[in-house]
């Protein structure tokens, strides 16, 4: 549900990520390279995303047994807007967004910022929602009750990021989401083929929060997964 490639800060090509995912038994992956505001990763602008789409279509035409969906890891700007136009986002299969800056905003300002993104009809998934990095950066100040309410009302999926430095959502927040009926998904946040197995860590994190397969949208087959996305 979150895979990076050489188009931005990943180590492998889209085809390589797809081939190794297929070998791991996955039916689909979502390529979510960074958007333009995260310049240090070589983030993609609208034209870059359209060019990437051609490569994804080519890979899908060459490989059987796995489908590559095009997404993007949007930057949630300080005011809650995102850095790619609505017209370009509507061309994608999946819209994802995350906080990558201004981590020190107070709880009220940060919550309003994130909720604006969650309520965006082109954003299906909120990636690594609290932005924590273990032993490096604390979680942002965020009203989780309001986030859960907004995610449920808008149909936004909350990510359980499997990357070892993140494991975000926390297990306690996963439990809260399950109790509230909020959609959850597990992503590897893979930046290379060596990272794809991180999904195992995300599964363990989900279980710590008492989530089961029915609570996780990407346990479903491809067509059922698509139905969990916003219209």
Q: Are 151 and 126 in contact (CB under 8 A)?
A: yes
Cα angle vertex 4, ends 175, 147, to 5°?
Answer: 30
pLDDT value of position 60: 98
Write the pLDDT tens digit of every residue in 105-140: 999 999 999 999 999 999 999 999 999 999 999 999
pLDDT classification of 166: cutoffs 50, 70, 90: very high
Mean pLDDT of 179-189: 98
pLDDT classification of 231: cutoffs 50, 70, 90: confident
pLDDT value of position 16: 98
pTM of the predicted model as reported, rounded to 2 decimal places: 0.97
Domain 14-227 has CATH 3.40.190.10: no
- pLDDT value at 148 more than 90: yes
Percent of the chain with pLDDT over 90: 97
Write the pLDDT tens digit of every residue in 42-92: 799 999 999 999 999 999 999 999 999 999 999 999 999 999 999 999 999
């Amino acid at each position: 549900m979150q895979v990076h490639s050489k188009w931005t800060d990943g180590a492998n090509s889209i085809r390589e990520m797809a081939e190794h995912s297929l070998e791991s038994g996955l039916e689909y992956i979502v390529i979510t390279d960074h958007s333009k505001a995260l310049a240090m990763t070589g983030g993609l602008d609208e034209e870059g995303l359209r060019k990437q789409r051609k490569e994804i279509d080519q890979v899908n035409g060459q490989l059987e047994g796995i489908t590559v969906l095009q997404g993007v890891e949007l930057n949630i700007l300080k005011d809650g807007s995102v850095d790619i136009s609505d017209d370009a986002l509507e061309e994608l299969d999946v819209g994802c967004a995350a906080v990558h800056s201004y981590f020190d905003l107070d709880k009220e300002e940060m919550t309003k910022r994130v909720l604006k993104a969650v309520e965006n009809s082109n954003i299906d998934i909120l990636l690594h929602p609290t932005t924590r990095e273990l032993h490096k950066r604390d979680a942002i100040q965020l009203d989780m009750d309001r986030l859960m309410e907004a995610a449920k009302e808008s149909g936004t999926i909350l990510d359980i990021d499997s990357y070892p430095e993140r494991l975000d959502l926390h297990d306690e927040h996963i439990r809260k989401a399950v109790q509230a009926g909020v959609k959850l998904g597990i992503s590897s946040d893979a930046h290379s083929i060596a990272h794809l197995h991180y999904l195992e860590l995300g599964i363990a994190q989900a279980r710590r929060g008492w989530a089961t397969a029915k609570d996780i949208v990407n346990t479903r087959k491809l067509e059922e997964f698509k139905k969990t996305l916003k219209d």
